């Protein structure tokens, strides 16, 4: 084997190091894109589900108020009952929002953002020993 000059070896190492750094940067970009896409999809689907539930509650509430008004002849009382129901529901939501909303959202987002670390197979340690 012919010996290469030291400067040529250093230049080759620098070229390989640059290629490695560029490959790592591209990997980080792709990983970030994947995680942002998953988080965005989570938020969009959550908003759609909340809107569907809100519209269902709206129409059920209106149906109840109209039904109550036809039964008793007093529509005003039906709407007051609904207002009281939503006031109580709002207070319960305010009191328990950390358990009902914050906890599950943080858990879902952490699963999206850190899923690669959790999916490491148990056999990797055995493969490294071989």
| Structure confidence at residue 114 (pLDDT) | 80
| Structure confidence at residue 1 (pLDDT) | 46
| Structure confidence at residue 88 (pLDDT) | 95
What is the pTM (predicted TM-score) of this model?
Answer: 0.64
Question: CB count, 10 Å around CB of 29?
Answer: 10
Contacts of 46 (CB under 8 A, 6+ apart): 105
Q: Please state, in angstroms and rounded to a whole number, the distance separating the CA atoms of residues 111 and 115.
A: 5
**pLDDT tens-place values along the chain, 130 residues long:** 456 677 788 889 999 999 999 999 999 999 889 888 888 888 999 899 999 999 999 999 999 999 999 999 889 999 999 999 999 999 998 998 888 788 888 888 888 778 765 455 555 444 444 4
| Structure confidence at residue 130 (pLDDT) | 45
Q: Please state, in angstroms and rounded to a whole number, the distance separating the CA atoms of residues 79 and 103.
A: 33
């Amino acid at each position: 084997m012919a010996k290469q000059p030291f400067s040529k070896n250093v230049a080759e190492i620098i070229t390989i190091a640059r290629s490695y750094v560029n490959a790592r940067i591209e990997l980080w970009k792709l990983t970030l894109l994947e995680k942002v896409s998953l988080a965005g999809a989570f938020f969009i689907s959550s908003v759609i589900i909340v809107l569907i539930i809100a519209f269902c509650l709206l129409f059920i509430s209106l149906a109840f108020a109209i039904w109550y008004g036809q039964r008793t002849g007093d529509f005003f009382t039906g709407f007051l009952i609904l207002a009281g129901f939503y006031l109580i529901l709002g207070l319960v939501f305010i009191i328990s929002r950390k358990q009902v909303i914050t906890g599950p959202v943080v858990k879902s987002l952490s699963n999206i953002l850190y899923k690669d670390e959790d999916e490491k197979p148990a056999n990797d340690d055995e493969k490294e020993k071989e």
